[in-house]
Amino acid sequence: MESSTKEKLIENGASSSSSSSSQARKGGLRTMPFIIVNECLERVASQGIMPNMILYLRNEYGMAITKGTNVIYTWSAFSNILSLFGAFLSDSYLGRFPVISIGSFSSLLGLTILWLTAMIPELRPSCESLMQVCNFASAAQLAVLFLCLGLISIGAGCVRPCSIAFGADQLTIKERSNDERLLDSYFNWYYTSIGVSTVISLSVIVYIQENLGWKIGFGVPVVLMLISAVSFILGSPCYAKVKPGHSLLTSFVQVIVVAIKNRKLSLPDYNFDQYFQDRDSDLMVPTDSLRCLNKACIIRNPETNSNPDGSVSDPWNQCTVGQVESLKCLLRVLPMWSTGIFVMVSQGSFSTLQANTMDRRLFGNFKIPAGSFTLIMVITLSIIIPFYDRIMVPMLSKYTGSPRGFSCKSRIGIGLVFVCAAKATSAIVETMRRNAAIKEGFEDQPNAVINMSALWLVPEFVLLGIAEAFNPVGQVEFFYTYFPKTMSSFAMALFTLELAAADVVGSVLVNIVDKVTSVGGKESWLSTNINRGHLNYYYALLTLLGLINFLYFLVLCWAYGPVPRQELEASAGKEEEQFDYREFGLVGSSVVGKRETRLYEPEERLHSSSRGVKTGAFCSASRNASE
């Protein structure tokens, strides 16, 4: 199977080159350094400030753990939602170059303001260093803080969903774009650079913040983002700038709007003359499921609702059968999609606080930065996926009869089990850490370093890395099996929305636990003094919720039955075709139809062939690691 991402990019690039001779002279490999440098430095800058942000909010703004965690959850959710909006905006209205430019300078402005909060004491509340107590931040000080975080989110939401497709535009705009090896080489180099930038952000930048202070620690990202923005603009004369096209998200909204307008109409018999079909489509009538949506494609006035070429004249008054069925496909996968929300609920902020109180010496006087422990999850992911591809898949295929090893639903389930194991491990380790702190007399000293190695945190991150290697990949493949080929890249839009939903769920859960456990003046489980609180109970609660989520997943497996495409391939007895994860979203679509855009961070290029899955970068692990 050819990658639909490459096919569509080549098709779009070819059409653009034929329509504009000036565009055909632009683009090419000479633009790659500008685009890749822009994306990589933006990631190093914005991701590098996230792991230690909980420490900055607690130590410099005097925020309680729950409030600081909610700020980070909201910030992350905002970034993920804006990734959808940025992709939609670039593909439907503005084009990629303007959106990336806006995002680059928005990130630069946000990082600069954040750096100023560290440089100018008046921009943050005054703190007593000896007592480690801060006054409450004023409304103006909080407004400045939230403004800079919002600008950084806008920047990430504009740059990340558009960057990879903008780079592909530069290669597909030329006639030589038919050489897919060039495009494939670009993807390889792009994701390799993203992987390197993630490692740098979670190690070097975090180390600078911890050892050289916030002024330099936030100043370095500002310099990197300045280089990123300027380098991207300098390449402007060389870029091929493809005009925006149509959005699949808009199509979904149109179906809902038209169905509401036609709600009083009676559904006709299944006569294809009564429904508006797409041109060159085999879909003649809508399916029986979700029949209320079928009213959107009823032909009300054939003369005014269609153009001479057979296309829809006004999509806000008339939809096609294909549009309706695409929305139905999306709605069908939402129950399985919901099982992944819990997987993406990050515990990064709490882990950073734990590591900050433990012995982080690795050798000599070198200390692992508290915010860098989440890098273990990314490293584990990078090891497990090729191990699964090269070693496990050939062995499993002999028993399962599938050239991919485990089925997509099995991979989802395996990931859910490892998430539960990770949360249970976190509860055990935190119990050990808390008991050690109390035994050593540090119950009222939450910043004191106890005589317990921080390497005890490694197992939970290894388990989370294994979970990330199975669950997200299985989920996106599951989406792919239920989506028509024209929608396959929309899977990444669902994945990005899942990240945002996880942040919202995490924030709500933290608030509920804090309020319920502090009733009657008792010490909250999520107390700012983690030695008096009970993070271990919170992790135990997450373990219980994870088990409930797994049972919910098992019920859904029974309800869904066999995966349609797998069942079809088994009955046909055909050898499985090459399967490219870029086709359904890890290079994904910006909620668009023809125009392809990667939707997030993710940060991962997975390519599956008849032997299984292989990766050269990162998926949601890099997102969780940076929080």
Question: What DSSP assignment string belongs to 17-76?
Answer: HHH-HHHHTS-SGGGHHHHHHHHHHHHHHHHHTSTTHHHHHHHHH---HHHHHHHHHHHH
Q: Is the pLDDT of residue 219 over 80?
A: yes
List of E strands, 218-325: none
Mean pLDDT in residue range 549-574 = 68
d(CA 489, CA 473): 14
Query: What domains can you pick out in the chain, each with its CATH number?
Result: 4-243+337-626 (1.20.1250.20), 248-319 (no CATH)
Question: What DSSP assignment string belongs to 393-429?
Answer: HHHHHHHH--TTSS-HHHHHHHHHHHHHHHHHHHHHH
pTM, two decimals, is 0.79
Between 363 and 53, the more confident residue is 53
Picking from 3-12, 83-92, 306-315, 609-618, which range would have the lowest pLDDT averaged per residue? 609-618
Query: For 604, phi and psi rounded to 5 degrees?
Result: -145, 140
Looking at mean pLDDT, say which of 143-147, 298-302, 390-394, 519-523 comes out highest. 143-147
CA 29 vs CA 33, 176, 177, 238, 251: distances in Å: 8, 11, 11, 10, 34
Between 599 and 224, the more confident residue is 224
pLDDT averaged over every residue in the chain = 79
Q: What does the DSSP 8-state code read for residue 518?
A: T
Which residues are paired to 592 by β-bridges? 247
| Encoded tokens for 248 | 């699949």
Instruction: Give the model's pLDDT for residue 321.
Output: 84
d(CA 60, CA 322): 54
Query: For 615, phi and psi rounded to 5 degrees?
Result: -140, 155
Question: Over the stretch 399-453, which tens digit does the pLDDT of each residue have?
Answer: 777 677 788 888 899 999 999 999 999 999 999 999 999 999 888 888 889 999 9
Asked whether 130 and 161 are in contact (CB, 8 A), the reply is no
Q: Is the pLDDT of residue 593 over 80?
A: no
Q: Between β-strands 606-609 and 612-615, what pairing exists: parallel, antiparallel or unpaired?
A: antiparallel
- From the list 205, 208, 160, 225, the residue with the least C-alpha distance to 492 is 160
